[in-house]
Amino acid sequence: MIQTVTGKITEKELGICAAHEHLSIDLSRIKNDPDTILDDEKGVLGELNHFKNAGGQSMVELTNNGMGRDVQRLKRLSEKTGIHIITCTGFYKDPFIPEFARGWDRDQFAAHFINESNEGILDTGILPGVIGEVGTSLDEIKPIEKELIIGAGKAALETGLPVSTHTTLGTMGVTQVEMFFDLGLPKDQIIIGHQDLNSNKDEVLSVLKSGVYIGFDTIGKNNYRPDGERVEFLLDFIERGFHQQILLSADLTRKSHWKKHRGPGYDLVLRDFIPQLKFKGVTDEIINDLLIHNPANAFAVKERYNDEL
């Protein structure tokens, strides 16, 4: 089963899924940029309808506490659009971790994530379906980020929820995997994010060879890396047989990313990126893995852990 903001659904109900998005976010406390605030609920309804009209059926929303999480808004959006939305428990990375949690250790992080997973987020009764996005800095893991990552892994072991990570420009993915494996977290509960931003193919291949899922989840952000390079890497990974470990998304975090502000919109992957893959000869079967089967498997709650508690 998969936990959404409106309740549990089966893996087959998830359908075409954007695996890493933001519908309600506020990063302006740190970034001091009003463009990093998504607070237009009426506007996001229109943006979601573009996604739905392109064939989108589900979305994983990884805005956590400290990033502007609003799970009641997500529930309203899901009910109005019919799109399945998965929300999260977690904290982002330094310096976005809320002040009250900045001195926490791994056990305190784990306890908080477990409590939200079991009791619901605040007093809403809405349950998270993923722990994320928990992250690390560029080319380093700061002490508080180490405690955060380990705490997330410990919570995943107890709850059966998947962990979805942030890697700054794709770095430190290998180390994140090692930290989770050291805890005994199974590979099918681990999603290492933003690997399409890492131009070091050997590093990304090392993550893939570990058996975990990776996010090709900043599609369209050509200011960081051209989509042509993303396509080139992805075709190589598919040729090597890793297509059942890759998740796609666009990670929209700014007003300027929305169609109403002349941005690409949440339908970018379905409208532009998938046709590029088809033009290069990627089969419908593999595309269905990338868009449907991989997210369904990655975000399914691993009930066997709950059964053991």
Full strand arrangement of the beta sheet holding 163-167: 88-89, 130-136, 163-167, 190-192, 213-216, 246-248
Q: Band the pLDDT of 307: cuts 50, 70, 90.
A: very low
Q: Band the pLDDT of 306: cuts 50, 70, 90.
A: very low
Q: Is 31 buried (19+), middle (13-18) or exposed (0-12) by CB count in 10 A?
A: middle
Q: Write out pLDDT tens, residues 60-119.
A: 999 999 999 999 999 999 999 999 999 999 999 999 999 999 999 999 999 999 999 999
Closest CA to 269 of 281, 253, 252, 283: 252
pLDDT at position 255 over 80: yes
Percent of the chain with pLDDT over 70: 98
What counts of helices (H) and strands (E) characterise the chain?
14, 13
Whose tokens are 């990776």? That residue is: 214
Instruction: Note the pLDDT of residue 309.
Output: 36
Q: How far apart are CA 170 and CA 105, in angstroms?
A: 25
Residue 136 and residue 176 in contact, taking contact as beta carbons nearer than 8 Å: yes
Instruction: Note the pLDDT of residue 304.
Output: 52
**Whole-model pTM over 0.85:** yes
End-to-end CA distance of the chain: 18
Q: How far apart are CA 143 and CA 140, in angstroms?
A: 10
Q: Band the pLDDT of 303: cuts 50, 70, 90.
A: confident
Give strand pairing partners of 59. Answer: 18, 85
Q: How far apart are CA 299 and CA 84, in angstroms?
A: 12
Spans of all domains in the chain? 2-308
2-308 maps to which CATH number? 3.20.20.140
